[in-house]
Amino acid sequence: MVNRRNLILGVGGTLALMGAGAAWRVTRVPQKALQPWAQAGVTELDPRLDAFRHAILAPNPHNMQPWQIRLMGDDQAEISCDLARRLPHTDPFDRQIVIGFGCFVELASIAASRRGLKIEVDAFPEGAGEERLDARPVARLRFVAEPGLAADPLAGFIRDRRSAKVPFDLARPVPPESLAALQTTSSDLIRFDYSRSHNETEALISMASTAFEREMRTPHTLRESIDVLRVGASEIDANPDGISLRGPFFEALSVLGPDKVRDASNDPQSAETTRQIDRYRQIFAQTPRFVWLTGLGNSRAHQLAAGRSYLRLNLLTTRLGLGLHPVSQALQEYPEMAPLFAEARRLCRVETGETLQMLARLGYAAPVAPTPRWPLEAKLIRA
Ligand SMILES: Cc1cc2nc3c(=O)[nH]c(=O)nc-3n(C[C@H](O)[C@H](O)[C@H](O)COP(=O)(O)O)c2cc1C
């Protein structure tokens, strides 16, 4: 039988150990999870591997990294979607997942240009599911030598690119010449635009904050985020994807068990949910500009093109020393969000037949840490 004194000592001892553990862990940052950012700097013999070591650093919804890469022959690759890595509650038509693939393909192309290679993209070569993606490939890529091809000037900024989920400096407005430089992200399928006045920016801040709250207070969409929370360095290293919670506070909590943190966060009306909503309301309030990409349609080709434009936007802002932060809640196509979806379209001057593909905050920010990635090897499918 356990004697009461031993039990108390036991619990005390465990707590002391947990305390020591927490003290050790607060100094920890994920190790393995950040290695792919360094590995992208290593030159590979096979230029396709070089390109894909960069492509896996692409921004993508909830950092789910849904890509699967199959090398074919000497100069081709097929990219497909790991269908289990989609986010059906907030992205019921896989629109945002396809945007992430557009970012991936653009990064591969930019990286390949450094080796004098152009990537010919055959998008959805076997057709695409209109409502949902399916097992058919997202793209076939052919790497073609192009004599005299110059390296893309954005290639040098790939490893510094971030999604800046932080407050921006309201004392430093975005210079008009920077906004003009971003216009180059428009294409024949995509139109770049931005908030043109203080009033327009304020209206978007208010709309984005309400949309964020709507997502957090809606049980099934909150649950989708909670399911991919990774709490503390150990869990992030073991699962380098999803929404990672880092830093001393979460390291200490992770000692109690990540599942406890997830359970505590899963109530739309809890104090913790309200705290997160307030935190994001404050972040959104510190936004000097919004920028957005409107698709002139909403086909899979438009979504892929939106991703390619967004990636260039993100690299251009990196080059300009600006932070860029997507705020997608109001763009998402589920019933509870419908009124805010309509409001976002109105505020962003979206015409009938067009689709708001990306909306993002823009401004100057303090440096932001890179997010976790699975290594390329985890994404390669052996034929
Ligand atoms: C289509 C799309 C939508 C996104 N929406 C949001 C969003 O609403 N809020 C947010 O904080 N980040 C959003 N992101 C950014 C991702 O969370 C981010 O890319 C991912 O966590 C990886 O981080 P990184 O971009 O810093 O490498 C979005 C990214 C993409 C491609």
By CB atoms closer than 10 A (0-12, 13-18, 19+), residue 5 is exposed
The predicted structure's pLDDT at residue 132? 98
Q: Which residues of the chain have pLDDT under 50?
A: 1-27
Q: Is 68 in the pocket of ligand 1 (CB under 6 A)?
A: no
By CB atoms closer than 10 A (0-12, 13-18, 19+), residue 138 is buried
CA of 60 to the centre of ligand 1 (A): 5
CA of 157 to the centre of ligand 1 (A): 18
- By most ligand atoms within 8 Å of CB, the mutation choice from 54, 56, 60, 245 for ligand 1 is 60
Q: What is the CA radius of gyration of the chain?
A: 22
Q: What is the dihedral of CA 215, 272, 371, 105, to 10 degrees?
A: -10
Q: Return the amino acid letter for 153.
A: P
The predicted structure's pLDDT at residue 23? 38
- Cβ neighbors of 11 (< 8 A, separation 6 or more) are none
Q: How far apart are CA 359 and CA 344, in angstroms?
A: 9
- Cβ neighbors of 63 (< 8 A, separation 6 or more) are 241, 242, 243, 244, 371, 372
Bridge pairing between strands 229-231 and 243-245: parallel
Q: State the CATH class of domain 176-363.
A: alpha beta
Ligand 1 nearest-atom number relative to CA 100: 31
Q: Is 225 in the pocket of ligand 1 (CB under 6 A)?
A: no
Query: Model confidence over 168-186: pLDDT tens digits?
Result: 999 999 999 999 999 999 9
- Cβ–Cβ < 8 Å for 64, 242: yes
What are residue 43's phi and psi, to 5 degrees? -80, 130
Residue 194 structure tokens? 């931005």
Domains 33-159 and 176-363 agree in fold: yes
- Cβ–Cβ < 8 Å for 116, 77: no
CA of 350 to the centre of ligand 1 (A): 22
Ligand 1 nearest-atom number relative to CA 97: 1
The predicted structure's pLDDT at residue 383? 66
Edge to edge, the sheet with strand 76-81 lists: 67-72, 76-81, 139-145, 117-123
The predicted structure's pLDDT at residue 3? 38
- Cβ–Cβ < 8 Å for 371, 244: yes
Q: Is 357 in the pocket of ligand 1 (CB under 6 A)?
A: no
Enumerate helices (H) and strands (E) in the chain, giving the number of each.
13, 10
The predicted structure's pLDDT at residue 245? 86
Residue-range domain boundaries for the chain? 33-159, 176-363
Ligand 1 nearest-atom number relative to CA 103: 31
**Model pTM?**
0.93
Q: Which of 130, 113, 100 is nearest to 47 (CA)?
A: 113
Q: Which of 316, 314, 315, 294 is nearest to 306 (CA)?
A: 294
Q: How far apart are CA 291 and CA 302, in angstroms?
A: 18
Residue nearest to atom 6 of ligand 1 (CA): 326
Return the CATH number of the domain spanning residue range 33-159: 3.40.109.10
The predicted structure's pLDDT at residue 76? 98
